[in-house]
Structure formats: C-alpha cells, structure tokens
Amino acid sequence: MTKIDDLPIRDELRGQSPYGAPQLDVPVQLNTNENPYPLPEPLVARIAERVAEAARTLNRYPDRDAVELREGLAAYLTRTTGHPVTREQVWAANGSNEVLQQLLQTFGGPGRTALGFEPSYSMHALISRGTGTGWISGPRNEDFTVDLDAARAAIAERRPNVVFICSPNNPTGTAVAAETVLALYDAAQAAGPSIVVVDEAYVEFSHRASLLPLLAGRPNLVVSRTMSKAFGAAGLRLGYLAADPAVVDAVQLVRLPYHLSAVTQATALACLEHTDTLLGYVAQLKAERDRLVDALRGLGLEVTDSDANFIQFGRFADTHAVWEAILAHGVLVRDNGVPGWLRVTAGTPAENDAFLDAVRNVIKEL
C-alpha cells in the first residue's frame, strides 16, 4: 500500500494530519460551532426559487466578480455596523477559509511569515503552511487576552507579513478591544508594513461592536466574515471580507476564475433576504450562551468570558478523559488541545440542557 510519505510531497506536509473534528453520530453535537437552527422554511423555498433561476443559465460561467452578492453583503455590513461599506470593499469566496487562503496567497507565500496569537483558530497556521507561509506563534495572557507588550515585541522582532487577530477568538471566545487592534496595526505598519487580518467569524454573537469601522484610513486592515455561523449556513460555504478596494483588487490576482458558483451566489442572496429572521436566532443563541456560562460557573467550573456562540470551560487535570465521559452521555464537545480546557457550542435549549446534565454527572464522577 502506498502511503502519503512515499509520494513526492512537499517536505512541510510530511507527517502532518488533515484538519478536522471527529464527526461522530451522537444525539447532541456541540463540537463545531455550528448554528443549531435549520434554515426557516420560507427561506428554504426562496433558495429553491433563486437556484432554479440560476439553473436556467448554468451552461454559462457565473458572474466572476459576484457583483450582486457583494452589493448585498456590503449593505448587510453597513446596516449592522453603522459603518458605510461599498461593494468595491467586499470580496466573497467559498467559506472564510478560502478568503484567508486567498489573503495568504496574496500577502504571504514562500519566504514570508504570518503571526497569530495562540491558542487560536488552528486553520490560520494550517493555511499558512499550505501556502508556503512561515508560521509564528504569538503569546497570550493567562486569561487568554492578547498580551499587548509581548505581541508588539514579537511583531517588531519577527516582522511578519501577515498578522491574524481572531475576535471573538476561537477556541477561547475572547473578544479583542479596538485599542488593542489599533496598537497591533500600528506595530505591524512600523515593522512591515504588513496586512492585519481581523477574523470576525463569530462577531454577530459578541457583546462588543464589530471592529469594521477601524477600516477607515487603514488600507492594510482586513476584516473577514462568514455566513457559516450567524446566518446558520455552514453548508453553503460562503465567506467574505471587507477592506480597502485595493485589497479586493489584489486578491483577484490569486483567485481561481469563477470560483464562486452560480448556485452558491443565488443561495447566499436568498439568505441575505432573510437576514432579520436569521439574526433573531442569533439573539436566542446569545441568551443561551449566557445561560450556559452562568450554569457552568454555578457548577463550580472555570469559564472564559465568551463573546462567541461557544464557551471554553475547565479546568480539568485529564481533559481528554472528561471529553470522553461527556461523550459517553451522548454529548459531543471539542477538545482543541488547550491543556485543561474543553469547548462547547451553544445549541438549542434542549441540547444545552442535555449538555449541562452530562457535565453535572461527569463532575460527580471526577
């Protein structure tokens, strides 16, 4: 049997494993930060209509520049942040992972580096590796906030080409203050100049406002977003960014032609028509998130303040054993490899109750 390492693959891929959480068939799945609410039926019907319309011209390539969709996303950002965003400032791709990949293909690459503050979303490091970009792991404080002095020192010394700031941060749930982002941006411009990417995949769940208004006057700042979480459309694969129009022009140098299918564009446009209903689910999830935080603290556990649709809780001497014990009660949570801590996604009230029951039982057994 031929193994991967028998193939003439790139050296940096040897011995690596692909990204992915276990996809186990258990009753309560709270491990991948998905939105637990299926799309409402009127939206499902509207998607069918829009896709049927798109199907009539599937013999043709889709709109390569996704103009109507970018217009819709710009309107959504303007409405929800109060900061005017034009379609020239917006770019879309197949999930924000692809957006991040295009950014690294454009601003990273061989001989260049990217820096992120860990623990954070592990794909930042993995997409860096996949694009031949060197990875630099930056520091965090004990409470998982960004250690600003250490971060500034790391940027000045290592002079990365790309800096990732994940806010709210996955897997810790911590949001980053605007002043911190501004200080890191200034440090990155002094050392670089370099691109600063604020990954706001979970921002709709935050107690804090979006960092998007910081884009004004900062051409090397990029805000990345997704329809996978707040819009409840992880299966759609639609991510987007907002930045200076020059950044949007730059990523076109690496994007594959017609990368966003006509079916994807039609579906995303239908979802945007139902924004208010979908944001109603977000409000419910935020309330459930806060209920879970209180309940876990009530059980005597440590919980990191969360601005996302998930919660980091602990601390456990044997994290993996606790993960397995919770799983034995039919609830799948995530072990992100942060020593002492597990992560749970806020689900429906019933799913959250099942999770809390499982935790109550498990800590009794500890």
Beta carbon of residue 132, minimum distance to ligand PMP (angstroms, whole number): 20
Using CB under 6 A as the binding rule, whether residue 33 contacts ligand PMP is answered as yes
Which C-beta is closer to ligand PMP: that of 146 or that of 362? 146
CA distance 339 to 341: 6
Beta carbon of residue 232, minimum distance to ligand PMP (angstroms, whole number): 12
Q: Which residues are CB-contacts of 135 (< 8 A; sequence separation ≥ 6)? A: 113, 114, 115, 116, 125, 128, 129
Using CB under 6 A as the binding rule, whether residue 118 contacts ligand PMP is answered as no
For residue 73, how far is the Cα from the chain centroid?
A: 17
CA distance 202 to 205: 6
Using CB under 6 A as the binding rule, whether residue 166 contacts ligand PMP is answered as yes
Which C-beta is closer to ligand PMP: that of 96 or that of 106? 96
Longest Cα–Cα distance of the chain, Å, equals 61
Using CB under 6 A as the binding rule, whether residue 173 contacts ligand PMP is answered as no
Per-residue contact string for residues 232-251; x = within reach of ligand PMP by CB under 6 A: --x----x------------
Contact 202, 175 (CB under 8 A): no
Beta carbon of residue 123, minimum distance to ligand PMP (angstroms, whole number): 6
In this chain, which of 228, 264, 319, 352 binds ligand PMP, going by CB under 6 A? 228
Which C-beta is closer to ligand PMP: that of 96 or that of 105? 96
Beta carbon of residue 179, minimum distance to ligand PMP (angstroms, whole number): 21
Using CB under 6 A as the binding rule, whether residue 226 contacts ligand PMP is answered as yes
Q: Which residues are CB-contacts of 155 (< 8 A; sequence separation ≥ 6)? A: 115, 163, 184, 187, 188, 191
Total residues at interface with ligand PMP (CB under 6 A): 13
Using CB under 6 A as the binding rule, whether residue 352 contacts ligand PMP is answered as no
Using CB under 6 A as the binding rule, whether residue 265 contacts ligand PMP is answered as no
Interaction residues for ligand PMP, span 85-114 (CB under 6 A): 95-97
Using CB under 6 A as the binding rule, whether residue 126 contacts ligand PMP is answered as no
Give the CA angle between residues 316, 122, 231 to the nearest 5°. Answer: 100
For residue 130, how far is the Cα from the chain centroid?
A: 18
Using CB under 6 A as the binding rule, whether residue 170 contacts ligand PMP is answered as yes
Contact 162, 104 (CB under 8 A): yes
Using CB under 6 A as the binding rule, whether residue 336 contacts ligand PMP is answered as no
Retrieve residue 83's tokens: 């900061």
Residue number with the smallest Cβ distance to ligand PMP: 95
Give the CA angle between residues 74, 76, 80 to the nearest 5°. Answer: 120
Which C-beta is closer to ligand PMP: that of 241 or that of 248? 241
Which strands make up the sheet holding 310-314, listed edge to edge? 302-303, 310-314, 342-345
Q: What is the DSSP letter of 303?
A: E
Which residues form the interface with ligand PMP (CB under 6 A)? 33, 95-97, 121, 166, 170, 199, 201, 226, 228, 234, 239
